[in-house]
Amino acid sequence: MNKLPRICVWHTQGDTYRDALRERLPDTPIEAINAATHETGEAVLGAPDSGPVASHGTSLIADAISSAEILLAWKVPPRTLTSMPALRWVQVTGAGVDHFLESTELSAAVTVTRSLGRFGIQISEYIIGYLLHHLIGIDTYREKQMSHEWARNNRPLLADRTVGIIGLGSLGLPTAKALTALGARVLGASHSGLAVPGIDNVFSASSWRNMLSECNALVIAAPKTVETVGMIDQSALDALPKGAIVINISRGELIDEDALLEALERGHLGAAVLDVFAAEPLPEDHPLWDQSRAWITPHIAAPSEIEVIADEFTKNYRRYVAGDSLLNEVDRRRGY
Ligand code: GLV
């Protein structure tokens, strides 16, 4: 007799997640569904119109979905959540939970938690890596090396720069700390605008545009919500000083990509370091690919590490079974 709540893992690496969880929770019923793509969450055997249960074709899988009380997933295709009448809790394997919160299929009774992983560290390293790469001019020296040229350029310091960070949560805050440790001046923007130690000045949802003219680099680390979609519009980009660097590790939809392209083309922006896009994968014919001031990575700034996420989930699962409040619960109304 097993009364422990059932877990369904739905992920491109579903089997590996399941095995990691079974090691940690040997008595718990855990099933995995392997998604074929990270972007849509569509299941491996999925036919476009067959629905998540039918597409797997086995009553075992159908049963795993219909009886699971808990879902661990990054993204699921349409009609998955409506096939899960027993669902009470979704833990998202990433930091951003927008895929679930935007779904009209997610019952209001379902609790959503997100993962912290080591995303804060990963994001800080990514951002500092790209900032230093640009300031040092690593590419330029590499090119000069090819032609055996001993030629010196200016050597601007991060310690003399101001970096603005939009979003001071689990991603933005560690980045702010790392930048401060390197001597950079950090400005920040959060919904409340409440002061944060180590950040020179924190702006609010209504005043954040006031910081832009001071930012040599602007980092976008805010969650995707109705309030943040499209916030980096043409006037925000124009307000940045000429030559500024924009770095987006949040969601593509926070930036007006047409306005960004235009600002790069006319040289107003020195560079855009983009890990996320409105459409992912970035379509092969998208003009950003060929924009020399754009630095593109395929949504890898903060990959979910299975062992880390499994530990985090296990801790939360034990709390769930004990009837304790869950860690990193999302305020569904607020959107993060
Ligand atoms: C990645 O985009 C995440 O939300 O963790």
The CB-based long-range contact list for 233-240 (8 Å cut-off, 24+ gap) reads: 233/259, 234/259, 234/262, 234/263, 235/209, 236/209, 236/212, 237/263, 237/268, 237/269, 238/263, 238/268, 239/209, 239/212, 239/213, 240/212, 240/213, 240/215, 240/268, 240/269
Closest atom of ligand 1 to CA, residue 117: 5
Q: Looking at the predicted structure, is the pLDDT value of residue 306 above 50? A: yes
Q: Looking at the predicted structure, is the pLDDT value of residue 49 above 90? A: no
Q: Looking at the predicted structure, is the pLDDT value of residue 184 above 50? A: yes
pLDDT in tens, 100-156: 999 999 999 999 999 999 999 999 999 999 999 999 999 999 999 999 999 999 999
Domain 7-117+304-322 maps to which CATH number in 2.60.40.3880, 3.40.640.10, 3.40.50.720, 1.10.10.10? 3.40.50.720
Atom 4 in ligand 1: residue holding the nearest Cα: 96
pLDDT in tens, 191-248: 999 999 999 999 999 999 999 999 999 999 999 999 999 999 999 999 999 999 999 9
At 2 the pLDDT is: 55
| Ligand 1 center from residue 94 Cα (angstroms) | 4
How far apart (Å, rounded) are the C-alpha atoms in residues 170 and 178? 13
| Ligand 1 center from residue 318 Cα (angstroms) | 24
Overall pTM surpassing 0.85 (yes/no): yes
How far apart (Å, rounded) are the C-alpha atoms in residues 331 and 192? 15
Ligand 1 pocket check: which of 93, 119, 122 to mutate, most ligand atoms within 8 Å of Cβ?
Answer: 119
Q: Looking at the predicted structure, is the pLDDT value of residue 55 above 50? A: no
Residues with CB under 6 A from ligand 1: 94-96, 119, 302
| Ligand 1 center from residue 278 Cα (angstroms) | 14
Give the model's confidence band at 54: pLDDT under 50 very low, under 70 low, under 90 confident, else very high: very low
| Ligand 1 center from residue 302 Cα (angstroms) | 7
Closest atom of ligand 1 to CA, residue 94: 5
Atom 5 in ligand 1: residue holding the nearest Cα: 94
pLDDT in tens, 249-280: 999 999 999 999 999 999 999 999 999 999 99
At 48 the pLDDT is: 45
Atom 1 in ligand 1: residue holding the nearest Cα: 94
Taking the alpha carbons at both ends of the chain, their separation in whole angstroms is 38
At 86 the pLDDT is: 97
At 45 the pLDDT is: 57
Q: What is the mean pLDDT of the chain?
A: 94
At 65 the pLDDT is: 87
Q: What is the CATH number of domain 120-296?
A: 3.40.50.720
At 61 the pLDDT is: 67
Q: Helix 172-181 to helix 119-136 angle, to the nearest 10 degrees? A: 50
Q: What is the mean pLDDT of residues 59-80?
A: 88
Q: Helix 119-136 to helix 138-146 angle, to the nearest 10 degrees? A: 50
SS3 for the chain is: CCCCCCEEEEECCHHHHHHHHHHHCCCCCEEEEEECCCCCCCECCCCCCCCHHHHHCCHHHHHHHHHCCEEEECCCCCCCHHHCCCCCEEEECCCCCHHHHCCCCCCCCCEEECCCCCHHHHHHHHHHHHHHHHHHCHHHHHHHHHCCCCCCCCCCCHHHCEEEEECCCCCHHHHHHHHHHCCCEEEEECCCCCCCCCCCEEECCCCHHHHHHHCCEEEECCCCCCCCCCCECHHHHHHCCCCEEEEECCCHHHECHHHHHHHHHCCCEEEEEECCCCCCCCCCCCHHHHCCCEEECCCCCCCCCHHHHHHHHHHHHHHHHHCCCCCCECCCCCCC
Q: What percentage of residues in the chain have a pLDDT greater than 70?
A: 94
| Ligand 1 center from residue 115 Cα (angstroms) | 9
How far apart (Å, rounded) are the C-alpha atoms in residues 38 and 46? 14
At 62 the pLDDT is: 76
At 144 the pLDDT is: 97
| Ligand 1 center from residue 282 Cα (angstroms) | 16
Give the model's confidence band at 3: pLDDT under 50 very low, under 70 low, under 90 confident, else very high: confident
Active site residues: 251, 299
Q: Looking at the predicted structure, is the pLDDT value of residue 302 above 90? A: yes
CATH 3.40.50.720 intervals, the chain: 7-117+304-322, 120-296
At 60 the pLDDT is: 60
Closest atom of ligand 1 to CA, residue 250: 2
